[in-house]
Structure 1
Amino acid sequence: MQEQAKVQHIPIKMYRTTDRLMIAAPMPGLQPEDITAQIFEDQRLVVKGDLRGMLKDIKELLIDEWSVGGYYREIELPVPVDGVNANVNYGNGVLVIAFPLSAQTQPATLKLHKTGPDRGEHAGTSGHPTQKTN
């Protein structure tokens, strides 16, 4: 019997430009539709990645030095952001969220839409446009 997947803490990089707050987080092994980012009025960001299935048809796991999902991270953002107009991209196992800076935090729930194998995006309407990947 396989052990239930444990929720893993997600390491992040957070940086700011003159008009955006950017967050990058490695979340390998997920599909875009498994990822949710929620922005709350109190400037909290919650990022979750749900694992759909473990390794299938394993006879014997010989070495297990890293895990795939589930992921969870709650972050207090240093500045107010516009969650409604955020851009979110997921590719090569890395989630990148670009929030436009705002006078007051605009809460939102961001779900990604699949754009290709293991790739996804949520396109807001403000700031730098997302670019389609091949």
Structure 2
Amino acid sequence: MPEQAKIQHIPVKVYRTSGRLMVAAPMPGLQPEDIGIEVTADNRLILQGEIRGLLKDIKELVTDEWSVGGYQREMTLPAMVDAEQANVTYGNGVIVVTFLISAKTIPARLTVPRVAPDHGVRVGNVGHRAV
């Protein structure tokens, strides 16, 4: 019987423009509903991914050189953001969260609705700040 997957620290890429902050991280092997994103009031980003049904159809694991999930990453964001207005995409095993830079951090817990197998999208804004 395979050993339960260990929590993996995931690398990130962080991009910044004058009005946006984008965080991208590899989280392969998940479904959108397995991903949790939270921005806390103290401007911390928490990315989590929980694998379900790990190797459920495999009778015998012969070689195991890499793991799928679970994933965890916590980091302080380099700018204050409005997490309620965040856009999120998940596809090809990569999560991308795009925040609007804000005068103060607006915390939120985000989910990624499934739009296709292994793909999810959350639209919090359409390229401009809501009025």
Which TM-score tier does this pair reach, normalised by the shorter chain?
Answer: over 0.9
Contact 2:37 / 2:48 at 8 angstroms: preserved in 1? yes
> Aligned partners of 2:41 and 2:126: how far apart in 1?
19
Residue 72 of structure 2: aligned partner: 72
Report the number of matched residues.
128
- CA pair 118-57 structure 1, distance change in 2 beyond 3 A: closer
Unaligned runs of 5+ in 1: 129-134
RMSD after superposition? 1.2
CA shift, 1:125, in A, is 2.4
Partners of 2:34 and 2:58 lie apart in 1 by 23
Identity among equivalent pairs (%): 60
- Structure 2 partner of 1:16: 16
Distance 2:60 2:41 in 1: 47
Contact 1:7 1:72 in 2 (8 A): yes
The code of the aligned residue for 1:85 comes to Q
Aligned equivalents of 2:59 and 2:35: distance in 1? 29
Note if contact 1:29-1:68 (Cα within 8 Å) is conserved in structure 2.
yes
Structure with more of its chain in strand, by fraction: 2
After TM superposition, what 4+ stretches of structure 1 lie above 6 angstroms from structure 2? none
